[in-house]
Chain A
């Protein structure tokens, strides 16, 4: 169990989350809707990510249901990282050493002014929540400014270096901005302008898939308690799933170009009529997931 949900249930949810996050760059590509060929290029750059993730689900979900291989890999890696004897990732938690000194200092300060434990606890909770809001607001603003400079440097370094460099730079930027949809959305206008081809954008979006899992692994290290190992296991399942997906689909030449062909085919249809775009978004992101949830409820899966 991972905080109440069995790991076997969480794995398909991870696959769905991978798919769901791709709607952001698809919406960004819709901003080019009146720009003709620019829209075709931007839309195909956005949907190549969707098709890769769809294709990944089609390959790995049946394998996971039959063999549970991702669950086993995640469990093995989590066990390997934190040790088989202890089910706690306390020693692996890098957040606590950073947070503990200021919390201890504040506790001492509150005790110093004669606060009771209850009042001090409430004060710390209120302060903590307020601090989260302030920090998130400022981090959001700062990240945008800081990230653009770094992202530019990473992208400049990747120009003319080939697909492996594209995957790594996509990963690096996503780790930096902690959002795969921001990374993949940023490259949509680059593809739309025609300066970057779909084949050049494709590895970059795969890197974004991997980068977002590294954020989840870092977050999992901050979870403590009996279920901490499962949080890490889930994060590692997500990481393994995306890495294996890239190795299998991008690594095998006969599978590599299928997402590109599918994205170009859909973009050509989208140029003929935008109803195809509406149908695609409606079906892939709303109708099919709702139908599948309904069917699984009825069948008791």
Chain B
């Protein structure tokens, strides 16, 4: 086999290895996501309790809305929330 064939075979082997690794990682990621989803579903009782807090939700939203309106008119950035 010439040098070209050797290099080509080497590259093809590396591509196959990468594809196998990629497929394995994708399966792992899917399994990890699904495990998280099952865990979240197991906490459904907690979420069900939150459904009774609609009035509190509206009150909290009203507070945030007032804060943002104040910031808007005082020339602030208008951002609220821990990730914002």
Contact = CB atoms under 8 A, between A and B. Distances in A.
B81 A39 contact: yes
Contacts of A195: 33, 36-37, 39-40
A27 B58 contact: yes
B46 to A, nearest CB: 8
Interface string A8-44: 0000000000000000100110110111111100000
Tell me the interface secondary structure of chain B in the complex.
helix
A184 B69 CA distance: 30
A186 B33 CA distance: 19
Nearest to B46: A189
Contact of A155 (B44, B51, B78): B44
B6 interface: no
B80 interface: yes
A160 B34 contact: yes
Contacts of A278: 65
Given A30-B60, A190-B41, A195-B40, A36 B65 contact: no
Interface residues of A, number: 35
A36 B54 contact: no
B83 A36 contact: yes
A116 interface: no
Contact of B30 (A33, A160, A277): A160
A193 B80 CA distance: 18
Contact of B47 (A37, A156, A190): A190
Contacts of A33: 57, 60-61, 64, 80-81
Tell me the interface secondary structure of chain A in the complex.
helix
Interface residues of B, number: 34
A33 B81 CA distance: 7
Contacts of B69: 275
A100 interface: no
B68 A31 contact: no
Interface in B62-84: 64-65, 68-69, 72, 78, 80-84
Contacts of B83: 35-38
Nearest to A188: B47
Given A144-B48, A273-B72, A274-B68, A30 B58 contact: yes
Contacts of B58: 27, 30
Nearest to A186: B47
Contacts of B81: 33-36, 39, 271
Interface of B: 30, 33-34, 36-42, 44-45, 47-48, 50-51, 53-54, 56-58, 60-61, 64-65, 68-69, 72, 78, 80-84
23 contacts: A28-B50, A28-B57, A30-B57, A31-B53, A33-B64, A34-B80, A39-B81, A151-B44, A155-B44, A159-B41, A182-B51, A185-B51, A186-B51, A195-B33, A195-B36, A195-B37, A196-B40, A271-B81, A273-B72, A274-B61, A274-B80, A275-B65, A275-B72
Instruction: Rank and list the top 5 A-B pairs by shortest CB-CB distance, nearest first.
Output: A36-B83, A36-B81, A31-B57, A30-B61, A189-B47
Given A152-B44, A189-B50, 9 more contacts: A33-B80, A39-B81, A156-B38, A160-B34, A195-B36, A195-B39, A195-B40, A271-B81, A272-B78
